[in-house]
Chains A and B, each alone.
Chain A
């Protein structure tokens, strides 16, 4: 009899304690596996190290020169474009458009430039394997800045302040270098500047650190709806399969059922048919063709240890239509969303995953995504969590 009473009391306690605990314990909602996943999304910012492929990475003089070149329209042949033309400081270093507007309407959404130093691949298709190579891609693309090496070298030599800064940094006058070498060094200065763009800490970071420290008082500052959204994110939603780690991206590529047909434009390339964005498949092909990849002569890492991904990446049929898993930090400021800017707001992004049509995935048998079938409350909770990845203040973006 006594035993029976004890068992009943224990069971009741087991049922009731979690409810009571959630009132006062902001961490009680999460099981050990979920806590482990939450902790894996920090701390923020992560430790940094200079880029071994860029000889001027972390150099203050390079950062200053790179910031100046970033906004220098003289790098384009007709003086009409700079990096900042599309990556606008007032728009969170993106442009707010569905797809970028270069010399022509582009095919993809302009990504912002925050936290790039923590990435392995750059661009929606990962065609670049370093920040300086990514800068070169935008500079030289005929559809974007359309710069030629000679244009860039002339711009470097033609501005006395830039010329002196370049010479002091690299030990040579721009005009004394082969044009392509001068252009690559300019891109490395720009990359040094881009490395400094690390987004501020967010309400999520404070909650994550409170969890790590067992600081329940600090954890209670994170609203209940946001905590429920976080539980969905790391739990049933399985969002962390791709949006993993301090940047909320595993740095790789995925097909999430967004169409990759290009409206009104042929250009899928050889074997792809007209009007198709090949995504990661085309990105790997472009990487292998590029003279500016880490497999090439401009990589400053003498041991080439930083080229392992470039040399080892596989080209698979499933890469067709895969696009970069973006960081989720500062998400509110980067609308519209997806590689083609086809979803205007954050609520729409969550609804995309809730109502996902598996038939639109081109996964070659992969079994990762499935419709989340979220309730309206769950959609609000998940959206609230995503907004907690914004820096406090304006509530949108990292500007």
Chain B
């Protein structure tokens, strides 16, 4: 009991290392039936999973993790049986209120699968990736945050 405060202090002192490591880590894709049946054609792992219209949207960075000032591509895979159309991919730094200096090119690579090329994250810090889609019901979007160092 007398050591609890010390343990707490130790944990607090480790917090900055934990956060920094977590920012660069590639989290595993949580498994469920839909995700298990849905994966990139080459069998490679996803960087993360978002939800789009109630169905999973897998994404992965190339290179992973993304690096400041290096060209970046993003593979996207909709796990919907009737996937929407990808209409836009963008990245912005909310804290700086600016985006990229380049417009990515979008390439369909299969049913519900796309590759966005020509992104460049030109500053270290927190970037938000915006993925815009459209289907018969209208527009929808998914977002994810990443700290790049």
Contacts and interface: CB of A to CB of B under 8 A. Distances in A.
Given A37-B149, A308-B71, A366-B96, A252 B101 contact: yes
Interface of B: 1-3, 5-6, 9, 13, 16-17, 20, 68-69, 71, 95-98, 100-105, 117-118, 120, 122-125, 149
A48 interface: no
Contacts of A10: 5-6, 9
Interface string A310-346: 0111101010000000000000000000000000000
Interface string A34-64: 0011001000000000000000000000000
Contacts of B13: 14
4 nearest CB pairs, A to B: A312-B118, A312-B102, A3-B2, A252-B122
A244 B2 CA distance: 47
A37 B5 contact: no
Contact of B16 (A32, A250, A367): A32
B101 A40 contact: no
A9 B89 CA distance: 53
A241 B16 contact: no
Contacts of B16: 31-33
A245 B120 CA distance: 14
A368 B124 contact: no
Contacts of B97: 365-367
A368 to B, nearest CB: 5
Contact of A309 (B3, B5, B102, B124): B102
13 contacts: A6-B6, A10-B9, A11-B9, A40-B124, A40-B149, A241-B124, A241-B125, A242-B123, A250-B122, A250-B123, A309-B102, A316-B101, A365-B97
A36 B122 contact: no
A32 B5 contact: no
Contacts of A11: 9
Interface string A240-255: 1110110000111100
Nearest to A319: B101
Contacts of B149: 33, 36-37, 40
A357 B142 CA distance: 38
Contacts of A217: none
Given A32-B17, A36-B149, A3 B124 contact: no
Given A36-B20, A251-B69, A367-B95, A241 B123 contact: yes
Contacts of B105: 308, 311-312
A126 to B, nearest CB: 10
A177 interface: no
A7 interface: yes
B20 A309 contact: no
B102 A33 contact: no
A2 interface: yes
A36 B71 CA distance: 21
Interface in A94-126: none
Contacts of A36: 20, 149
Given A252-B101, A309-B120, 16 more contacts: A2-B2, A3-B1, A32-B16, A40-B124, A244-B69, A244-B124, A245-B69, A250-B68, A250-B123, A251-B122, A253-B101, A312-B118, A313-B101, A366-B96, A366-B97, A366-B98
A73 B29 CA distance: 62
B147 to A, nearest CB: 10
Nearest to B121: A250
B68 A244 contact: yes
Contact of B103 (A242, A244, A312, A365): A312
Contact of A308 (B68, B100, B101, B117): B117
A240 B124 contact: yes
Interface string A19-31: 0000000000001
A190 to B, nearest CB: 26
Contacts of B120: 309
B68 A6 contact: no
B17 A312 contact: no
Contacts of A32: 16-17, 20
Among B2, B101, B117: residue with most chain A CB under 10 A: B101
A36 B21 CA distance: 10
